[in-house]
Structure 1
Amino acid sequence: MKPAPFDYVRAASLDEALSALHEAGDEARVIAGGQSLVPMLNMRLARPSVLVDVMRIGELARIEHRKGMITIGAGVRQAQLERWAPLAGTLPLVASMMPWVGHAQTRSRGTVCGSFAHADPSAELPLALLALEGEVHLRSKKARRVLPAADFFLGMMATAAQPGEMVEAIGLPAHGIGTGTAFAEVARRHGDFAIVACAAIARPGGAIRLAVGGVADTPQAIALPDPSDPDFDDRLNEFAWALNARDDLHASARYRRDLVRSLGRRTVEEAVSCRS
């Protein structure tokens, strides 16, 4: 199939992009890498009347590290982030995820913020945003606002972005001293969306956070005790059931719950062992 007709705006500046989005309202979509949007256009699952291309806007293609926060602009491609020299030291959880994000070919085109805006519950980068308790920077012609990750994802491929708004950037807190992280996922093939993905963060003082993707309609997170705690397995089991897994072509609900328990424990144990 081919997409329904649309107008195309190649914005040369952020002001031009925001003006085009403001004029078109909910009939507009931002296009950057296009790795998720273009297939949806071709299958006519998305039918915007205007596409606003933001990939010629230089100020959106920056990665900045300021005051303990890594800010990634809407024009940063996934491959650019993967090759960013400080990544392993400042965002080790994200560094461990990047090889699992699609394939090298798609990472060379797809953008980091595009993955958040698409909000697929099985994608790795939205899981990282929730696990790290990051923030989403939204901007329209009239205003800016910042939302925590937990408030941005509303459902499967649904976000809190309003008509006329775009994801200008996302912010992720830099890796703290004494913090351990771990990531693991199970997929049918490497590069496919995860059947279940787990990201764990073990902070100094015993605080442990586990985030799970691929099960519920959005990534979900929980605070857990140390794996040696007698209540750990019960808490993890309750979490696995609370995600309301469903059967589909890729896996049964029971298999997904089993993966949350086994993969969840493994990632938490690895994160705890990496604390220093």
Structure 2
Amino acid sequence: MKPAAFDYLRPSSLEEALQQLAAGGDRAKVIAGGQSLGPMLNMRLAMPSALIDLNDLTELAYVRDGGAFLSIGALTRHEQIAGSALVQARCPLLGQAAKTIGHYAIRQRGTLGGSLAHADPAAQFPLIAMTLGAEIEIARQGGSRRVPASAFFQSAMATALAPDEIIRCVHFPTISVNEGMSFQLFNRRHGDYAIVAVAATVALQDERVVHVRLGLSGVSAIPQSCDAMVRPLLGQLASAVWAADVARAVRAAVTPEDDAGITAVYRKELTEKLVQQALERALTRAKG
């Protein structure tokens, strides 16, 4: 099957793109990497009246150190993030996750902004944004706004992005002293979306766990923060026993649903195993 007819537009600036998007109304769509939208067009799951190609907006492709935050432009490709020395030094969890996305060809084309806007509940970047408490900067005609990841993702493939808005960049908190990070996933084949994925950061002080950020995908319609589940276990000695205790607590708290071929019980078992692995590896990295 081929796409339905649409007008093709290729703006030379973000302002021009926003004007075209506003003029197109609810039926205009933007495209950058096209790794998700392309197949949807071919299957006519998406039938926009106008397709606005952002690939000339190279000013939206960057990785910048902002001190407490790492700012990454929406048009930055997955492979650029995976290979960035700045990402590895300042926000290694993001780099770890980027390396696991799809295959090489997909990482060469897919973009950070596209992944967040598409909001697939099994995708890596929405999970990292939710886990770290990233802020998503959104542009519209005449202004912009920042939305925390916790408010941006609303349901499976549904976000707070309005029809006339475009993601400009994302601000990810950077790593702190004595903090370790780990990203773990389980999938059937290399390159597939994860059945369950876990992102974790652990900060230590005097060999005790003082701060944890823990997120899951694959167990709910949007990436899920588990910080509240971990809070009662803070202050304990950093050890494999502590990691196992947290993993059991998370398993007991999550409520995945059965779907074709994958039971809720299986997802809960995967969750416990992956949370324990992620926390143990994050502890090792935090200890230096």
Normalised by the shorter chain, which TM-score bucket? over 0.9
Residues 58-78 of structure 1, C-alpha deviation per residue, up to 9 Å, x if partnerless? 211122111321111122111
Once residues 144 and 97 of structure 1 are traced to their aligned partners in structure 2, the CA distance between those partners, rounded to angstroms, is 28
Partner in structure 2 of residue 42 of structure 1: 42
Once residues 142 and 47 of structure 1 are traced to their aligned partners in structure 2, the CA distance between those partners, rounded to angstroms, is 28
Aligned partner (choices 220, 223, 228) of residue 224 of structure 2: 220
Partner in structure 1 of residue 254 of structure 2: 240
AA of the residue aligned to 1:199? A
Partner in structure 1 of residue 25 of structure 2: 25
Query: Would you say the 8 A contact 2:183–2:197 is kept in 1?
Result: yes
Q: Aligned to 1:247, what secondary structure does the other structure show?
A: coil
Structure 1 residues 78-87 or 255-264, which shifts more? Answer: 78-87
Once residues 96 and 71 of structure 1 are traced to their aligned partners in structure 2, the CA distance between those partners, rounded to angstroms, is 17
Query: Would you say the 8 A contact 2:82–2:96 is kept in 1?
Result: no
1:261 maps to 2:265: no
Once residues 273 and 85 of structure 1 are traced to their aligned partners in structure 2, the CA distance between those partners, rounded to angstroms, is 21
Partner in structure 2 of residue 155 of structure 1: 155
Query: Would you say the 8 A contact 1:4–1:44 is kept in 2?
Result: yes
Once residues 8 and 142 of structure 1 are traced to their aligned partners in structure 2, the CA distance between those partners, rounded to angstroms, is 24
Structure 1 residues 231-240 or 214-223, which shifts more? Answer: 231-240
Aligned partner (choices 249, 252, 259) of residue 263 of structure 2: 252
AA of the residue aligned to 1:214? G
* 4+ aligned runs moved over 3 Å, structure 1: 226-234
Query: Please, what TM-score do these two structures have when normalized by structure 1?
Result: 0.94
Deviation (angstroms), 1:200: 0.8
Once residues 107 and 190 of structure 1 are traced to their aligned partners in structure 2, the CA distance between those partners, rounded to angstroms, is 14
Residues 180-236 of structure 1, C-alpha deviation per residue, up to 9 Å, x if partnerless? 111110001111000000011112452212101122110001121256459635521
Once residues 246 and 273 of structure 1 are traced to their aligned partners in structure 2, the CA distance between those partners, rounded to angstroms, is 34
Q: Structure 2: give runs of 5+ residues left out of the alignment.
A: none
Q: Structure 1: give runs of 5+ residues left out of the alignment.
A: none
Residues 142-169 of structure 1, C-alpha deviation per residue, up to 9 Å, x if partnerless? 3211010111111111110011001111
Partner in structure 2 of residue 113 of structure 1: 113
Shift of the 245–268 alpha-carbon distance from structure 1 to 2, 3 Å rule, reads farther
Residues 36-82 of structure 1, C-alpha deviation per residue, up to 9 Å, x if partnerless? 11001111111111111111012111221113211111221111222
Structure 1 residues 229-238 or 254-263, which shifts more? Answer: 229-238
Query: Would you say the 8 A contact 1:199–1:212 is kept in 2?
Result: yes
Q: Aligned to 1:126, what secondary structure does the other structure show?
A: helix
Once residues 45 and 125 of structure 1 are traced to their aligned partners in structure 2, the CA distance between those partners, rounded to angstroms, is 23
Partner in structure 1 of residue 215 of structure 2: 211
Once residues 49 and 142 of structure 1 are traced to their aligned partners in structure 2, the CA distance between those partners, rounded to angstroms, is 24
Deviation (angstroms), 1:253: 1.6
TM alignment of 1:32-181, pairs within 5 A: 32-181=32-181
AA of the residue aligned to 1:160? A
Once residues 62 and 94 of structure 1 are traced to their aligned partners in structure 2, the CA distance between those partners, rounded to angstroms, is 15
Query: Please, what TM-score do these two structures have when normalized by structure 2?
Result: 0.90
Query: Would you say the 8 A contact 2:63–2:86 is kept in 1?
Result: no
| Backbone CA RMSD of aligned residues | 1.6
1:274 maps to 2:288: no
Partner in structure 2 of residue 185 of structure 1: 185
